[in-house]
Chains A and B, each alone.
Chain A
Amino acid sequence: MSEPRSLSSASLVGLVARREISARIRDKNFIISSIVILVLLLGSLALQVALDSGTEESRIGLVGDAPGLEQALQAQGEALEVDVTVVELPDEAAASAAVEDEEVDSALVVQGREYELLVQESAGGSLEAIVQGAVSQLSVAEQLAEAGISGLDVPEVPVTALDPDADQDSQRVVAAIIGAGLLYGLLILFGQFIAQGVVEEKSSRVVELLLATMKPWQLLAGKILGLGVLGLAQIVVIAVVGVAGAIAFDVVDIPGDLIGTAISVVLWFVLAYAFYAAIFAVAASLVSRQEDLGTVLMPTTLVLVAAFVVGIQASADPDGTLARVTSLVPGLSPLVMPVRQAAGDVPVWEVGLAVVLMLVAIALIVRLGGRIYAGALLRTSGKLKMREALKAERA
């Protein structure tokens, strides 16, 4: 057996962090919440795809020779935002079989100038419109050609968009709101994890054994870091799956903007997590039983709820006073600033100021909170006031 070595702060923090991670990834609550979040995400993507089916698909079988019909069908489909695929079929029997087997949605049988549309039950609005439109376009052209009129000059209507970016803007805002909601959910979740972990160590008294080998701040840092790595991994996975899914299913027009928003949400998560994790841990250190957690966590949870609400509001009025002020306030900024950034133009100095204020707040909380935490950890009777904990730390 090798001799015990002396441990640096970093290796102690690392040991604590690794224990947190390995304990948490085997925890049922964590596994379930991760799965629920992913399922929700994929579900909402699927819903988006289903609702916003600009890419409805239709397979039309075609029997008989009708030059230009295939192009006409596809052109009609495009006009009605339906992706039309034309399948050539040899005869009417094959067409009936294909419709019955649902290989095609419908089959158009052409015999000279006679057209017949075979469908399973009913043609449905868009399908009938496509076929009717294509057939009449073709036959009008044919009849005009027979009448000797060709080279008809049909004027094309030019389209001028007054706000060509509106759609992209709203997509960015939706992405930012989803991001803020995600931030909110993950912060609450990981805040709870941290708080439960702190109280577990206090209520099981294992903390006395831990503090015999390390300083309170090392324990606190290890816990926050360990769960933070998990939280970050989770939000990165969600962001990647979400963005990749949205791009793959064509839910968004400008993938670049979506990726930018996702990255800014992830970066804000890091700051917000450090801030709230420290507060949750310190608050939790004041109580000794899981039952008492609710009361001490309530104020912080309310701040988070408020930040989320203000964040949603900021999407409607990104340059209003409320949004501008709250996007600078530490604790609120992580949920407001990304929404503002997505919904409008935020001067770089405002973003920078928000980040700096947040960093200062984190430093203050870790300093003050670390002292409260240190003073409160070994007081395992009932609920402690913050002032008592600070006093105990100095004793």
Chain B
Amino acid sequence: MLEFDGLHKSFGDNRVLDGVGFTVAPGSMFGFCGSNGAGKTTTMRIAMGLVRPDAGEVRWRGSALDQGLRRRIGYMPEERGLYPKMKVGEQVAYFAKLHGLDAAAAAKAAAEWVEQLGLGARRNDAVEKLSLGNQQRVQLAAALVSRPEVLILDEPFSGLDPIGVDSLAEALLGQARAGVPVVFSSHQLDLVERLCDSVGILARGRMVATGTVEELRRREAGRLLRVVVPDAAPDWATALPGVRVVSEQAGDTVLELSDGGNDQEVLAAALRTGRVTHFAWQQPTLVELFRGAVAAPTAEEVAA
């Protein structure tokens, strides 16, 4: 298990992380979402030892990360970084050596990864001569070359074209299938929804939601009901107990049910107005879940 436990961090008066915690099982992919400035990068930098937390720690297989364990993590920083004048192959081999491979193994692994990511022909070119997309591949090679036990990637998909996204997704799925826990942050929520076994949403320095996309959906799904009643008079549902009208437009009504609300009563009321052409619980997309989670402080947060 890769565990992020109770991370707190303030920069001056700015409280960036306020008890961030989640766990990632080996072989699973964790999508880390949150608005800009929510603290995703700080969380990942803490894991990599680049920022010292005020409290809390990150553990891998039960022991707190130290320099030795971090050497077993493949990391891709948000701001990509490579030596611009160093050759692709040498650069990847250098990072392999920094992660503890001996010279021969590093050269071999670098050659394999460079080949695998389709950069074989550019092996002896300086990184600065490559296109941005190809530089990103070198960056990925640098993260993967030491056969890491854990992958932590900050916005790995940003700046990639759709084909680049697909090949990176393929590479990450391959790592996860091989048993590596993968944590990545992204604003491309459709991608997170498609790739990740579990998702964490960070807002105001706290995890406001964690779980599989299904779990999050189920949690939210109890609440929004869409009913389309073309013949109904306006405000047909306002009087129903435990029901709040979220939106209503020409009979297309979205209702939020509190615990006292009963969907069968709503259906009965709808039928009384005439035809019912649509009656279903909303299946929120991750985008909607994200908006909901990020928008308002939860009761728990307010209490805190």
Contact with A along B199-226 (1 / 0, CB 8 A): 0000000000000000000000000000
Of B20-28, B97-105, B288-296, the stretch lying at the interface with chain A is B97-105
A5 partner residues in chain B, CB cutoff 8 A: 100, 102
B146 partner residues in chain A, CB cutoff 8 A: 4
Of B83-91, B177-185, B188-196, the stretch lying at the interface with chain A is B83-91
A204 partner residues in chain B, CB cutoff 8 A: 81-84
Residue contact A209 to B142, C-beta cutoff 8 Å:
yes
How far is A214 from B75 in the complex, measured between Cα atoms in Å?
Answer: 13
How far is A215 from B67 in the complex, measured between Cα atoms in Å?
Answer: 8
**Does B62 have its Cβ within 8 Å of any Cβ on chain A?**
no
**Does B4 have its Cβ within 8 Å of any Cβ on chain A?**
no
Main secondary structure of the interface of B (DSSP, over half): loop
**Does B77 have its Cβ within 8 Å of any Cβ on chain A?**
yes
Residue contact B108 to A1, C-beta cutoff 8 Å:
yes
Interface size on A, residues (CB 8 A): 27
A209 vs chain B, min Cβ distance (A): 5
Residue contact A211 to B98, C-beta cutoff 8 Å:
no
How far is A134 from B161 in the complex, measured between Cα atoms in Å?
Answer: 93
A207-B109 contact in complex given A4-B100, A6-B100, A15-B94, C-beta closer than 8 Å = no
A205-B77 contact in complex given A5-B102, A23-B86, A395-B52, C-beta closer than 8 Å = yes
How far is A201 from B80 in the complex, measured between Cα atoms in Å?
Answer: 12
With CB as the reference atom, state the residue of chain B lying closest to A1: B105
B98 partner residues in chain A, CB cutoff 8 A: 7, 12, 15, 210, 213-214
Contact with B along A366-395 (1 / 0, CB 8 A): 000000000000101000000000000001
Residue contact A395 to B86, C-beta cutoff 8 Å:
no
Interface size on B, residues (CB 8 A): 37
Contact with A along B31-64 (1 / 0, CB 8 A): 0000000000000010011111000000000000
- Residues of A1-59 at the interface with B, using a CB-CB cut-off of 8 Å, are 1-2, 4-7, 12, 15, 19, 23
**Does A212 have its Cβ within 8 Å of any Cβ on chain B?**
yes
How far is A6 from B67 in the complex, measured between Cα atoms in Å?
Answer: 9
A213-B71 contact in complex given A12-B98, A395-B11, C-beta closer than 8 Å = yes
Residue contact A4 to B99, C-beta cutoff 8 Å:
yes
A200-B83 contact in complex given A6-B100, A15-B94, C-beta closer than 8 Å = yes
Residue contact B147 to A4, C-beta cutoff 8 Å:
yes
B105 partner residues in chain A, CB cutoff 8 A: 1-2
B129 vs chain A, min Cβ distance (A): 14
Contact with A along B112-130 (1 / 0, CB 8 A): 0000000000000000000
With CB as the reference atom, state the residue of chain A lying closest to B47: A212
**Does A166 have its Cβ within 8 Å of any Cβ on chain B?**
no
Residue contact A2 to B77, C-beta cutoff 8 Å:
no
Highest count of chain B CB atoms <10 Å: which of A15, A206, A378: A206
A378 partner residues in chain B, CB cutoff 8 A: 45, 50-51
- Residues of B154-197 at the interface with A, using a CB-CB cut-off of 8 Å, are none
Residue contact B70 to A213, C-beta cutoff 8 Å:
yes
**Does B13 have its Cβ within 8 Å of any Cβ on chain A?**
no
**Does A208 have its Cβ within 8 Å of any Cβ on chain B?**
yes
Residue contact B81 to A209, C-beta cutoff 8 Å:
yes
A2 partner residues in chain B, CB cutoff 8 A: 101-102, 105
Contact with B along A208-246 (1 / 0, CB 8 A): 111111110000000000000000000000000000000
Residue contact B94 to A19, C-beta cutoff 8 Å:
yes
B99 partner residues in chain A, CB cutoff 8 A: 4, 213
Checking A7, A15, A23 against B71 with a beta-carbon cut-off of 8 angstroms, the contacting residue is A7
**Does B95 have its Cβ within 8 Å of any Cβ on chain A?**
yes
How far is A208 from B49 in the complex, measured between Cα atoms in Å?
Answer: 10
**Does B141 have its Cβ within 8 Å of any Cβ on chain A?**
no
How far is A302 from B25 in the complex, measured between Cα atoms in Å?
Answer: 57
Residue contact B72 to A4, C-beta cutoff 8 Å:
yes
Residue contact A205 to B81, C-beta cutoff 8 Å:
yes
Checking A6, A205, A207, A209 against B95 with a beta-carbon cut-off of 8 angstroms, the contacting residue is A209
Residue contact B71 to A6, C-beta cutoff 8 Å:
yes
- Residues of B237-272 at the interface with A, using a CB-CB cut-off of 8 Å, are none
How far is A7 from B50 in the complex, measured between Cα atoms in Å?
Answer: 19
B73 vs chain A, min Cβ distance (A): 7
A19 partner residues in chain B, CB cutoff 8 A: 94
Residue contact B85 to A23, C-beta cutoff 8 Å:
yes
How far is A2 from B67 in the complex, measured between Cα atoms in Å?
Answer: 20
How far is A210 from B77 in the complex, measured between Cα atoms in Å?
Answer: 11
How far is A4 from B102 in the complex, measured between Cα atoms in Å?
Answer: 7
Residue contact B81 to A208, C-beta cutoff 8 Å:
yes
A308 vs chain B, min Cβ distance (A): 32
B100 partner residues in chain A, CB cutoff 8 A: 4-7
How far is A15 from B72 in the complex, measured between Cα atoms in Å?
Answer: 18
With CB as the reference atom, state the residue of chain A lying closest to B69: A6
Residue contact B109 to A1, C-beta cutoff 8 Å:
yes
How far is A211 from B45 in the complex, measured between Cα atoms in Å?
Answer: 10
With CB as the reference atom, state the residue of chain B lying closest to A202: B81
How far is A7 from B96 in the complex, measured between Cα atoms in Å?
Answer: 12
B77 partner residues in chain A, CB cutoff 8 A: 205, 208-209, 212
B42 vs chain A, min Cβ distance (A): 11
A212 partner residues in chain B, CB cutoff 8 A: 48-50, 70, 73, 75, 77
A12 partner residues in chain B, CB cutoff 8 A: 98
B75 partner residues in chain A, CB cutoff 8 A: 209, 212
B106 vs chain A, min Cβ distance (A): 9
Chain A interface residues toward B at CB < 8 A: 1-2, 4-7, 12, 15, 19, 23, 200-201, 204-215, 378, 380, 395
5 tightest CB-CB pairs across the interface, nearest first?
A: A205-B81, A4-B100, A206-B81, A205-B79, A208-B77
4 more A-B contacts (CB under 8 A) besides A2-B101, A206-B82, A213-B70?
A: A1-B109, A15-B98, A207-B81, A212-B50
